[in-house]
Amino acid sequence: MLRLSEIKLPLDHTDEDLHAAVLKKLRLKAADINNYTVFKRSYDARKRDDIRLVYIVDVELPKQKQLLHRFKKDPHVKPTPDTSYHYVAEAPKAVEHRPVVIGNGPCGMFAGLLLAQMGFKPIILERGKAVHERSVDTFGFWSKRKFKPESNAQFGEGGAGTFSDGKLYSRIKDTNHHGRKVLHELVNAGAVPEILFINKPHIGTYRLVKIVENLRNTILSFEGDVRFETRVDDIDIADRQVRGVMLANGDYIRTDHVVLSVGHSARDTFEMLHRRGVYIEPKPFSIGFRVEHPQPLIDECRFGEQAGHPILGAADYKLVHHCNNGRSVYSFCMCPGGQVVAATSETGRVVTNGMSQYERSGKNANSGIVVGITPEADYPDGPLAGIALQRELEARAFELGGGTYEAPGQLVGDFLVGQPSQQLGSVKPSYRPGVHLCDLSPSLPDYAIEAIREALPVFDKKIPGFAMHDAVLTGVETRTSSPIRIKRGEDFQSLNTQGLYPAGEGAGYAGGILSAGVDGLKVAEAVALSIVEKVSCL
């Protein structure tokens, strides 16, 4: 197959137009090609009055060699690379101890899936509940303030990604095409096939719930074992080699291979690992607020007269500003047409994040507006100091919000001049259980408040209206990424604990659903190869 890139067409083109563009590019007639498929579709909206769709297309044709020769100097005509997934191992018959995966977020789920597909019969242990029961608890918290520390937006089947926008893009280098494997498995589990070819695919919360359940059933069909409400409270390590895991219910599971995919909110688990001497480093992360604007403001700015065009959907944005105080402020996890959600996993704390449904038809656009912080400058007191800072800020946000799990909030106009907000304006915040208007400046360190105050007017120059008086800030956004890294070597095992495979976002090796899934696949391959090697040495 040949891969053609940079095929540009107007928004309202037909299938025939694309076919014609492919033939024109290759200077061929319809009879000369067998078939073509779209590999990727994105849009170029740099000129708002001439927004174009941009395609990468794979063409099947008989005379590929001659054509490649004819286009040898054209960077937009190349052979199609093989992006299919190839299993690295098959489970030997005599595996003494089954591998254990801790955590059933995207990382643990894809690690478990791949181990199961290769025949290793993994045991997946998840502290939270199965996704349907978890949904009842999470939505129950949002509507009735009934918080459950083991079943919420962070903990439970599907991990942090379940009640999210389900954005599936990442900037990771993916030379072995693991990302395609993740996307294909999601489609097999019920995601719309368009996620395979649109540039910035997303799934949406309600659809994710069903997909997560289907992925679990696939794991079970390959004789994997998935256990809910099963928290790992300790790890048995002897001579710096993992021997087993201890569960909160007192049970012990003997294993030599543990995938540690616990996400960035498993603070008790991090403390336990630190006590057990597992090597952990502090890592930079970001803190800030969520901001909400009317979605049409963003659509109009990005798409002009084409705002609302169905193929474009609700517009997103990406903003960054380097401030005079040396800090950088950037937009994080932007959710077009979405909702700000309560994402705490601890009692008496308030944390914001964002989600949306597949249609992205909510009235507001939201994103985190966050400031980068580092262990050297901001939390120098050891590997877990970032967690202590997160807890302090989240507890302060709880207090500022009135101690009822409402989020402290302020209108952008008031925030910029430093006066508490008394009344909402035209933008109705979507955060549930509610927003408590106040002065947000005590909620974050001074340098962060100063940086966000400088950045908002600069963002307003890029998106006119971004600093509009009535836009709403809610706080605090603290779980942007893991505050630690559980370092691993090239064999994917902890630097000082054999058999422990730190993985995904919590270990500092992913940031987002797709990258966590990809990391899960890579770690599963490493576990599989290690087991095969051990068995062959016996």
What residues line the site for ligand FAD (CB under 6 A)?
A: 102-108, 125-128, 153-156, 159-161, 163-167, 231-232, 261-263, 266, 269, 333, 341, 343, 353-355, 504-506, 510-514, 516
- Residue type at 96? E
**Nearest Cα to Cα of residue 116 among 209, 185, 191, 210:** 185
Least Å from the CB of residue 213 to ligand FAD? 14
Sign for the pseudo-dihedral over CA of 343, 348, 350, 351:
negative
Region of 455 on the Ramachandran plot (φ > 0 left; ψ -120 to 50 alpha; else beta): alpha
Pairing of strands 252-254, 241-247: antiparallel
Q: How many CB atoms lie within 10 A of CB 145?
A: 14
In angstroms, the CA 308 to CA 315 distance is 9
- Residue type at 461? K
In angstroms, the CA 83 to CA 182 distance is 12
Least Å from the CB of residue 182 to ligand FAD? 11
Contact 489, 279 (CB under 8 A): no
Residue closer to ligand FAD by CB (options 323, 500) is 500
Q: What's phi and psi for 259, nearest 5 deg? A: -90, 120
Residue closer to ligand FAD by CB (options 231, 453) is 231
Least Å from the CB of residue 435 to ligand FAD? 17
Residue closer to ligand FAD by CB (options 25, 98) is 98
Least Å from the CB of residue 334 to ligand FAD? 9
Least Å from the CB of residue 156 to ligand FAD? 6
**Nearest Cα to Cα of residue 123 among 251, 13, 8, 22:** 251
Least Å from the CB of residue 505 to ligand FAD? 4
Cβ-count burial of 304 within 10 angstroms (0-12 exposed, 13-18 middle, 19+ buried)?
middle
Residue closer to ligand FAD by CB (options 145, 227) is 227
Residue closer to ligand FAD by CB (options 156, 282) is 156
Cβ-count burial of 83 within 10 angstroms (0-12 exposed, 13-18 middle, 19+ buried)?
middle
Residue closer to ligand FAD by CB (options 127, 321) is 127
Residue closer to ligand FAD by CB (options 118, 514) is 514
Least Å from the CB of residue 365 to ligand FAD? 14
Residue closer to ligand FAD by CB (options 160, 226) is 160
331-353 burial: b if 16+ Cβ within 10 Å, else e: bbbbbbbbbbbbbbbbeebbbbb
Residue closer to ligand FAD by CB (options 164, 364) is 164
Contact 271, 115 (CB under 8 A): no
Least Å from the CB of residue 21 to ligand FAD? 32
Least Å from the CB of residue 424 to ligand FAD? 23
Q: What's phi and psi for 446, nearest 5 deg? A: -55, -40
Residue closer to ligand FAD by CB (options 156, 375) is 156
Question: What is the DSSP secondary structure assignment for residue 168, as one 8-state letter?
Answer: -
Contact 295, 336 (CB under 8 A): yes
Least Å from the CB of residue 218 to ligand FAD? 17
According to DSSP, the residues that pair with 45 across neighbouring strands are: none
In angstroms, the CA 121 to CA 106 distance is 18
